[in-house]
C-alpha cells in the first residue's frame, strides 16, 4: 500500500507540473456547465435538481477521459522511463494501481469543483440531496471505468494519439450499447438474450439508474467489475510486453 | 571473492532473431566488467535481462545471492541500474525525481533526504537540483541517471553506457567514481561502452560479445597483449575488430 501511494503521489503531482491539469479542469467545468444550462435546460425545467447537469457527463468523459488516460503508459514507453520504474523494487500492480488512482483522483477533483452547481440548486429550491450524492458517485464511477479502459489501452502502445482514439472508440461502444437506438436495431431480429445482454453491459443503463437516485448494488458492482477487469488486463499487458 | 552477479545460459529471441544466445557472466565484488560489442550484438538486451526488465527465454540470474525469478523485488533492491539513454521524467525537478526513486526504494522522510543529498554531492549535481530534467544538458541527464542508480548504495551496479554524452572532464569524474565504488566499496559493476579506452581506464575485465555470444573474456591487459602487430589505431581497437569483424564483412557483402 505504501508503494502504491508513492506511485500515486508522483503521478498526481505530475498532472500539475504541466498546463494539462489547468486546461483539463477549465474545459471540463466549462463544458459541463454549458451542457447543463444550454442543452439540458437547467433553468427552463423549473425543477431544483442536477439531472440536466449530470446526464451529459458520460458524453463529456467520452473525449476528456482518453485525454487523461492516453499518456498513462504510452508516455512511459516513449520516454523509456518504463525501464526505470519496472526495475525499481515496485511490482507491476503497484504501478498500475498508483497510476489509476492518481488519474481517478484527478477526475474526482474536477467533479469536486462542480460543487457550486449544487449550492446553486440548494439556493434556488429544495433539491433531493441524496439523489445528488448518488449522481456524483455515478459520474465518478463512470469516469473510473473509462479511465481503467483507457489505462489498459495506453499500455498497448507508445503512441498517445493511438491510445486516445482507441480509448474513445471503446468507451463510445460501451456507452452506446445501452442506448435505445442500438437496442432497437437489435430488437427486431436478435434473440431477447442478446438485447438484454447488450443493455446490461451498456454504461448508460447503469448510469441512468444511479442518477435517478437509486443505489443498486448491481450498478455499483457493474462499474467496480469494469474497473477491476481492465486493471487486471492492464497489469497483464505491461508484464507481458514491458519493452515493446 | 564473493560472487555478486551470476548469470547462466541467458538466451533471448525477438521474433526470428536470436539476440542473446547463451551468455554466462560471473562478476565478483570489486570487479568492474566492461561490456563491449558492436551495435546490435545484444549488450542492452543482456543488461535488461540482468536487471529483470526483460525476461530471459531461458537461463538464470542471481544478484547478490538472490535469484531474480524467485524474489524479484529483493533482487532489485540489491541492484542499481542506469538504463540506456538515462530515462527520467522530464517534468520533474532533479530533487523531486531523486526523492521519488529514494521513496520507491523504501527510504522514508529524513533518510530519503539524506540519501538524495548524498547522491547529489557525489555526482556533483548541486547547481541543477531545482531544475526540471527536460532543461538539463545531455551530460547532466546522464549524471542524474547515475545518481538514482547509486543512491541506495547497492552491491550490484548495472550501467548501460554511463559516460555516453559526457565531456572529457565529466567522463574522467564518472570513471573515478566507478573505480572508487568498486575498489573501496566492494561493488560488482557491469558497464557497457563503445569507448575502448574506457575499458583500459576503469575495467578489471573486458567481455566482448558478438551476435549474442561471448567471444572474449579477459583482463584489459591480456586483451591488449592479444592485439595483432599489424594494424594502426590502438591495440584494443584491433582486437575488437578482429573478434567482431565477421559481422561487418557479412553486412558489407
- Across B75-90, b (16+ Cβ under 10 Å) vs e yields bbbbbbbbbbbbbbbb
Give the pLDDT confidence of B179-225 residue by residue, as tens digits.
888 888 889 999 998 888 888 889 999 999 998 899 888 888 887 77
In the three-class reduction of DSSP (H, G, I as helix; E, B as strand; rest coil), residue A127 is classed as coil
Substitution target in B104, B131, B148, B154 with the highest count of A β-carbons within 10 Å is B104
- Among A8-22, A127-141, B203-217, B225-239, the least confident range: B225-239
- The 10s digit of each residue's pLDDT in B154-167 is 999 999 999 887 88
Which residue in B91, B103, B132 is closest to A6 by CB distance? B103
DSSP string, B22-75: EEEEEEETT-EEEEE--TTSSHHHHHHHHTTSS--SEEEEEETTEETTT-HHHH
- Euclidean distance between CA atoms A155 and A244, whole angstroms: 10
CA-based nearest distance A89→chain B, Å: 5
Q: Evaluate whether residue B235 is within a structural domain.
A: no
Distance between CA B148 and CA B98 in Å, rounded? 6
Q: B28-59: per-residue pLDDT in tens?
A: 999 999 999 888 888 999 999 999 999 899 99
Mean pLDDT of the region B66-87 = 93
Query: What phi, psi does A91 have (nearest 5°)?
Result: -85, 165
pLDDT at B251: 37
Segments in B165-230 forming alpha helices (H): 168-183, 196-202, 220-225
CB contact under 8 A, B85 and A80: yes
Same-domain status, B65 and B165: yes
Cα A199 to the center of its chain, rounded Å = 19
Determine the 3-state secondary structure of B230 from DSSP: coil
Q: Which of B14, B50, B100 to mutate to test the interface with A (most CBs of A within 10 A)?
A: B100
Please state the rounded mean pLDDT for residues A187-211.
82
For chains A and B, CB pairs below 8 A equal: 65
Q: For the segment A42-94, what is each residue's pLDDT rounded down to a tens digit?
A: 777 777 778 888 888 999 999 899 999 999 999 999 999 999 999 999 999 99
Is B90 in Cβ contact with A79 (below 8 Å)? yes
Gap from B216 CA to chain A (nearest CA, Å) = 28
Residues B49 and B16 in one domain: yes
Q: Which residue has the cell 527510504?
A: B107
Please say whether the beta carbons of B76 and A87 come within 8 A. yes
Whether the ipTM is more than 0.90: the answer is no
Residue bearing cell 586483451: B223
Please tell me which of the candidates B53, B90, B100 has its beta carbon nearest to residue A242: B53
| A160 Cβ contact list (under 8 Å, min separation 6) | A70, A71, A74, A75, A78, A154
User: Which of A6, A77, A87, A99 has the most B C-beta neighbours within 10 Å, making it the best mutation to test the interface with B?
Assistant: A87
Pair (B74, B164) in one structural domain = yes
Give the H/E segment covering residue B216: strand B213-218
Residues B137 and B167 in one domain: no
Burial class (CB in 10 A: 0-12, 13-18, 19+), B28: middle
Same domain membership, residue B137 and residue B105: yes
A14–B91 CB contact, under 8 Å: yes
B45: distance to nearest CA of chain A, Å? 10
B1 and B60 belong to one structural domain: yes
Chain A: residue whose CA lies nearest to B77: A89
| Residues in CB range of B47: below 8 A, 6 or more apart | B35, B81, B84, B158, B160, B190, B192
* CA pseudo-torsion sign A209, A213, A218, A219: positive
**Domain positions in chain A:** 2-240
Cell digits of residue A236: 497483464
Interface of B with A (CB under 8 A): 48, 51-54, 73-74, 76-77, 79, 81, 83-85, 87-92, 96, 100-101, 103-106, 132, 148
Is the CB of residue A127 less than 8 Å from the CB of residue A205? no
Q: What CATH number has the domain bearing residue B12?
A: 3.40.50.300
Whole-number pLDDT of residue A37: 82
- Residue B89 is nearest to which of A7, A81, A86, comparing CB atoms? A81
Q: Is B148 in Cβ contact with A84 (below 8 Å)?
A: yes
Secondary structure E strands in chain A: none
- What is the Rg, in whole angstroms, of the alpha carbon atoms belonging to chain B? 18
Cβ–Cβ gap A89/B104 under 8 Å: yes
Q: Which residues of chain B are within 8 Å of residue A87 when distances are taken between CB atoms?
A: 51-53, 76, 79, 81, 83
Mark whether B204 and B185 lie in a shared domain.
Answer: yes
Distance CA A68, CA A20 (A): 9
Which residues in chain A have Cβ-Cβ distances shorter than 8 Å to B48? 83, 243
Q: Do B76 and A89 touch (CB under 8 A)?
A: yes
pLDDT of residue B252: 35
Domain count across chain B: 2
Asked whether A134 and A210 are in contact (CB, 8 A), the reply is yes
- The answer on B188 and B135 residing in a single domain is no
Q: Which three cell numbers stand for residue B102?
A: 529514494
Same domain for B7 and B129, yes or no, is: no
Contact A199, A205 (CB under 8 A): yes
Residues B158 and B60 in one domain: yes
| Within-domain flag for B45 | yes
Q: B192 is in which domain, residue-wise?
A: 1-78+154-223
Q: Which residue of A has its CA nearest to B97?
A: A10
Quick one: pLDDT band at residue A195, thresholds 50, 70, 90? confident
Chain A neighbors of B90, CB-CB under 8 A: 79
**What is the model's pTM?**
0.90
**How far apart, in whole angstroms, are the C-alpha atoms of residue B83 and residue A88?**
12
Amino acid at each position: 500500500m505504501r508503494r502504491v501511494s508513492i506511485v500515486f503521489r508522483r503521478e498526481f503531482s505530475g498532472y500539475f507540473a504541466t498546463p494539462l491539469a489547468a486546461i483539463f479542469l477549465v474545459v471540463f467545468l466549462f463544458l459541463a456547465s454549458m451542457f447543463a444550462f444550454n442543452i439540458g435546460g437547467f433553468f427552463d425545467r423549473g425543477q431544483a435538481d442536477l439531472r440536466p447537469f449530470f446526464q451529459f457527463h458520460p458524453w463529456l468523459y467520452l473525449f476528456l477521459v482518453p485525454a487523461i488516460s492516453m499518456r498513462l503508459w504510452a508516455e512511459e514507453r516513449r520516454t523509456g522511463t518504463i525501464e526505470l520504474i519496472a526495475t525499481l523494487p515496485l511490482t507491476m500492480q503497484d504501478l498500475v494501481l498508483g497510476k489509476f488512482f492518481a488519474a481517478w483522483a484527478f477526475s474526482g477533483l474536477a467533479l469536486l469543483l462542480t460543487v457550486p452547481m449544487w449550492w446553486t440548486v440548494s439556493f434556488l429550491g429544495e433539491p433531493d440531496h441524496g439523489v445528488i450524492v448518488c449522481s456524483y458517485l455515478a459520474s465518478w464511477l463512470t469516469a473510473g471505468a473509462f479511465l481503467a479502459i483507457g489505462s489498459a489501452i495506453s499500455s498497448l502502445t507508445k503512441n498517445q494519439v493511438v491510445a486516445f482514439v482507441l480509448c474513445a472508440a471503446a468507451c463510445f461502444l460501451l456507452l452506446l450499447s445501452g442506448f435505445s437506438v442500438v437496442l432497437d436495431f437489435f430488437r427486431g431480429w436478435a434473440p431477447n438474450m442478446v438485447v438484454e445482454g447488450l443493455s446490461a453491459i451498456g454504461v448508460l443503463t447503469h448510469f441512468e439508474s444511479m442518477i435517478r437516485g437509486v443505489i443498486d448494488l448491481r450498478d455499483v458492482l457493474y462499474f467496480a467489475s469494469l474497473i477491476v477487469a481492465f486493471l487486471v488486463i492492464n497489469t497483464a499487458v505491461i508484464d507481458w510486453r514491458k519493452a515493446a | 571473492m564473493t560472487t555478486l552477479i551470476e548469470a547462466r545460459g541467458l538466451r533471448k529471441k525477438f521474433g526470428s532473431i536470436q539476440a542473446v544466445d547463451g551468455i554466462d557472466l560471473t562478476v565478483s565484488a570489486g570487479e568492474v566488467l566492461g561490456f563491449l560489442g558492436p551495435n546490435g550484438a545484444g549488450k542492452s538486451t543482456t543488461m535488461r535481462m540482468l536487471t529483470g526488465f526483460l525476461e530471459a527465454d531461458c537461463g538464470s540470474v542471481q544478484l547478490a545471492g538472490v535469484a531474480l525469478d524467485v524474489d524479484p523485488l529483493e533482487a532489485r533492491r540489491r541492484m542499481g541500474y542506469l538504463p540506456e539513454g538515462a530515462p527520467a521524467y522530464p517534468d520533474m525537478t532533479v530533487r523531486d525525481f531523486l526523492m521519488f526513486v529514494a521513496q520507491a526504494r523504501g527510504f522514508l522522510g529524513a533518510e530519503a533526504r539524506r540519501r538524495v543529498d548524498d547522491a547529489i554531492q557525489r555526482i556533483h549535481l548541486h547547481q541543477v537540483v531545482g531544475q526540471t530534467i527536460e532543461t538539463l544538458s545531455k551530460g547532466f541527464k546522464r549524471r542524474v541517471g547515475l545518481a538514482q542508480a547509486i543512491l541506495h548504495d547497492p552491491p550490484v551496479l548495472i550501467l548501460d553506457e554511463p559516460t555516453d554524452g559526457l565531456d572529457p572532464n565529466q567522463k574522467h569524474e564518472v570513471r573515478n567514481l566507478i573505480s572508487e565504488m568498486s575498489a573501496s566499496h566492494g561493488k560488482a559493476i557491469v558497464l557497457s561502452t563503445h569507448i575502448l579506452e574506457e575499458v583500459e581506464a576503469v575495467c578489471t575485465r573486458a567481455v566482448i560479445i558478438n551476435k549474442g555470444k561471448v567471444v572474449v573474456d579477459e583482463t584489459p591487459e591480456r586483451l591488449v597483449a592479444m592485439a595483432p602487430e599489424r594494424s594502426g589505431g590502438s591495440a584494443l581497437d584491433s582486437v575488437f575488430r578482429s573478434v567482431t569483424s565477421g559481422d561487418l564483412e557479412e553486412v558489407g557483402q
